[in-house]
Structure 1
Amino acid sequence: MIAGPQPLVQNPPIPGGNNAIVAGQNVQIHANNSLWIDVNMAKPGIPTAMFSWSLPGGETVNAGETSGRLQVHNNGTLVITNIGLGDEGDYEVTASNSDGSDSITSTVIVLSYRWNTVWSDCSATCGPPGTQSASIFCINVKSGGTVVDDSNCQHLNRPELPSPRPCVPDNSPCPEPPMIFKADPLVQQYQGFTIDAGQNVSIHQGQSLRVNARIVGGVPDPSIKWTLPDGSKLGPGETSNGVRVTPNGALLINDVRRSDDGTYTVTATNSQGTDTASTTLKVLRE
């Protein structure tokens, strides 16, 4: 007959040693250790009992046999070396002779923690290289890497914290506000003319005028709007009363009239900011 102690869950034994319990006791043990489960016979039995162990996967190992990292001694003691998560479960020992048999079970819970080094995101998301810094956490391997209190890894050597390392962003341009190139203001008289936003011009009726909006930079790409002398607004591809804005943001008046007199303001806007430039048009009489 096997003497069975009251089942209990032992505290995790000191890793690296041979940790022993008695059949009928339950144990928590850290992975990569060895475990001994002794069989305490209340009565040895006559004739002498033979021992066999049923493993969590259903395999049976008899006294004197070895199965991988598991061995059963002739006295019934079960030894598991380099224990792992796959060894978790119920271990039942049976002692039997010609007069009968008796069994008792121990439950083995395998704890698996390790130190894990995690690198931060790159300090630079665009433009020149940045740096990454490291942090070290204790994780529970069984739960898929959940971060746990460092005390669970105190039996393991904590790795040294690596020094920060350089990192390269994805080479995308950094966000920046748009800027409109502003030419020096001038007043000129021409039969037809192309100027840059920020310049002023005098032109005869019936002639044409193109005012370029030269956007310098701007990430993400800015939107462009022209405000006309009457307060109306035009975007690229839009037309109003003979005034048209091209797809690239230039202002076109193909047949200048006296009513076109006034100030035309272009505005470039993105999430980082806004810039404006104004051109004053004076329409000359014939």
Structure 2
Amino acid sequence: MKTISTYPIIMDGGMGRELQRIGAPFRQPEWSAQALIEAPQFVSQAHEHFLAAGAEVITTNTYALVPFHIGEKRFKQAGSRLIEQAAGLARKSANGYPGVAVAGCLPPALGSYRPDLFSADSARPIIDLLIQHQQPYVDFWLAETVSSIAEAELIAHSVLPTNKALWLAFTIQDEVDGEPRLRSGETVFEAVGWLDKTRLSAILFNCSCAEVMEAAITTARKALAGLGLEQDIRLGVYANSFLPIGDAHQANDGLCTLREDLTPEAYRDFARLWMKAGASIIGGCCGVTPSHIQELAALKEDIRIEP
């Protein structure tokens, strides 16, 4: 009998860069929200590409539906409608593929990779609106690119009334050497040990380099084992295809360069390492294409037929 660590759930890849790749309206600071605003059919097309590649979970295109990306005025005037529209598009796409789940994206409310900008009082009404207008369409919540324990705490508390499970994805520092740390500087071990496990069903690491993920999974697994929760909470990875992002990075300050070496085959090799370390959820973040997801789906099929 196989364990969950060798039989992964396959997530989708990076929505923003897929929209750009297929010719959707795409620019900063709106990022992936631009297609939703101007040509939502491209969002459905992107979902379809990941589903056809073998994704078992697709994520709502709500990452950029925050004032940081679309501006305070547009968020107040159209935020609720756009959030519901994005969630509805994902649900409609998933309904065409039996067994596919929809993850309700809860993005960084005040800017990616910027724990210094986080304020619970400022973030709470944004997160609450994202929850309210996605709840009827999604199967569970996916908090993405979480940079600090304080941000994780707010989201975990905010989703409790919905009675839906939470997958919490931390972004970590792109440093291969040393102890894995969140962008805030807090260690992965501290973050996993602190977490309120109510409704939490998975801890993931996203939007960081592929090379740093194995150590993060290993550390998280040790922390869960120490709490007696190793068999209760899944671990997962969906790395980006960016060059390393340092502390000085400013989100929305131009498009990050994509790596040429992180081919679908290379990404699949990394996925094997993550699974060996304990990951049972695998997908992709920024720059990870349907071709990459197809390789992950093939990897899962290989596992199915192994003796």
Q: TM-score range by the shorter chain?
A: under 0.3
Higher relative contact order (CA 8 A, sep 6+): 2
TM-score (norm 2): 0.18
Greater Rg over alpha carbons, structure: 1
- Name the structure where helix makes up a greater proportion of residues: 2
Give the alignment's TM-score, normalised by structure 1.
0.18
User: Which structure shows the higher strand fraction?
Assistant: 1
